[in-house]
Amino acid sequence: MMNDPRRRLTEAAAARLEAGAALLRRYGRRVQGNGRTLILGGVRSGKSRHAEQLMARHPYVVYVAAGLPPSDDDPEWAARVAAHRARRPVSWRTVETADLAGALRDARSPVLIDCLGTWVSRVLDEVGAWQQEDGWEARLDERLQTFVDVWQGTTVPVVAVSNEVGSGVVPPTVSGRIFRDVLGALNTAVAAHSDTVRLVVAGRALDLR
């Protein structure tokens, strides 16, 4: 019985199953689809809703709102922000900040960032890009690189939403071209350090391999 080939086959199969289970336990996050996900899309494409759906299985999420807070001076923007807030589960915590690197660095639970486009616009204003102030490019590079470095090293599941800016016409203004070029470069850098990148078109998500 000790040399029964059928027993040896059974033992070998059990060993393979145990080895597979060990790998699953070790890399469970990747198997379950956690990690760093970048969601790209045009305006009103459904990219934010898709990102929220991806995070819906988590009972607790930090929602990082990276754009300007709503104000009475811009009722249309305030209405958009209110619509986004109404969709979020009550268990999610909202953080309104331009310090994306700090918010992600301190995170101990899943994070949803919405969106990199509004954040870039805010940062460009803070570093003096619109007025072409001396040293604005160096200040901008530092802010962007800090975020990319933190994104690359994060250990919590994170989804970032961003505008896809490479498919439209060339902006007619200098500020528009600066925004397009900076956000396009940031999207490329973030995508290079993401586990999953998706493009949302008319509510349909396409995996970018």
User: Which residue is catalytic, options 50, 58, 84, 193?
Assistant: 84
DSSP annotation of 97 reads -
Active site residue 193: no
Question: CA neighbours within 13 Å on the CB side: how many for 172?
Answer: 0
Question: CA neighbours within 13 Å on the CB side: how many for 32?
Answer: 13
Rounded Cα distance, 61 and 146, in Å: 23
| Surface-to-core class of residue 61, CB atoms within 10 Å of its CB (0-12 exposed, 13-18 middle, 19+ buried) | buried
**Residue 168: helix, strand or coil by DSSP?**
coil
Binding residues for GTP: 41-48, 65-67, 85-88, 96, 114
The answer for 166, left when phi > 0, alpha when psi is -120 to 50, beta otherwise, is: alpha
Rounded Cα distance, 40 and 62, in Å: 20
- Is residue 112 within 8 A of residue 89, CB to CB? The reply is no
The encoded tokens of residue 96 equal 């309104």
User: Count H helices, E strands: the chain?
Assistant: 8, 7
Binding residues: 41-48, 65-67, 85-88, 96, 114
| Surface-to-core class of residue 188, CB atoms within 10 Å of its CB (0-12 exposed, 13-18 middle, 19+ buried) | exposed
Query: Looking at the annotation, which residues are catalytic?
Result: 84
